[in-house]
Amino acid sequence: MLANAELAQDFFILNQQYKRLVAALLEVVDIPAKMLEVKATENAVLGSVEEDQIYYLESGSLNVRYRDRTVYLLDDGDLLLPDVTGSSDAESAVIFSSESGAVLRGYAALDFMHKVFSDPSALKLWTRLSITHSGMMMRLAAALTDADTHATPGFEIYNPGDVIIRQGDRADFVFNLSEGTAEVVVDGVTVGAIEEGEIFGAMAVLTNADRTATVLAKSRCSVVKVPKEQFSDLIKSNPATIHSLLTDMANSITNLNEQLVGLRGSYMN
């Protein structure tokens, strides 16, 4: 994804992560696709793009326009999702065009999402992809906003030993560990680990409570930070996020129970 705006380096890092997630998701979903070759147009609606399809942009580029303004440009490796508003209302429709032509791989949207929801690994990839895309859109919106509007930070790199979350602090963000490993510490005692791809910090946000644990970077970590208000919107628009959260929380509880059983056994011995 490209844009006619000055974007920070973290946008391009997220963009590459997004494309890796798209490629991994398509490999897991693995359903039949139909090829669509788009001829070069000049700001014309692509009538051959169907609203019940999810498209993968295999080559070329697509302009994405809204209210006569190019918002961004899709390029190789991007997904093109159906516009939820449809195209019946010209004022609210999103318009796609290509000045250089493009080759798309189309998947039936219902079949695609059925496979996502029925496969835990696909669902986890879809959740990570949605959060990454949300981070990209936030940065794109900030780049297109007046300079005196303050953008909320949302992407950080942590080195080993750095504090990602501090116990007792206010919970303003939900985190997605896109790269690296981290450890969970409560009152100075390590009680768990966070692996690449996991969402963490959501419980305190959802319950409007202070942080109950400290999270430390165990290796170099790339972390997407989603503001709590934006996370609430993400849950409402993408219920699959809840499933992924419950899976990660259940794994954390299982690991903690195993540690407690181990400690009890050591005390008895």
Please determine, for residue 177, whether its predicted confidence score (pLDDT) is greater than 60: yes
CATH class of 9-119: mainly beta
Q: What is the mean pLDDT of residues 162-186?
A: 91
Place domain 155-268 in its CATH homologous superfamily: Jelly Rolls (2.60.120.10)
Tokens of 234: 């993400």
Nearest CA to 61 among 40, 43, 44?
40
- Model pLDDT for residues 125-151, shown as the tens digit of each residue: 998 898 888 888 888 777 766 554 333
The reported pTM is: 0.57
Answer yes or no: same fold for 9-119 and 155-268: yes
Q: Which helix (H) or strand (E) holds 142?
A: helix 120-143
- Model pLDDT for residues 30-60, shown as the tens digit of each residue: 999 999 887 776 654 454 456 788 999 998 8
Every domain of the chain and the residues it spans: 9-119, 155-268
Tokens of 140: 């794109």
AA letter at 194: I
Report long-range pairs for 88-93 (Cβ below 8 Å, ≥24 apart): 91/67
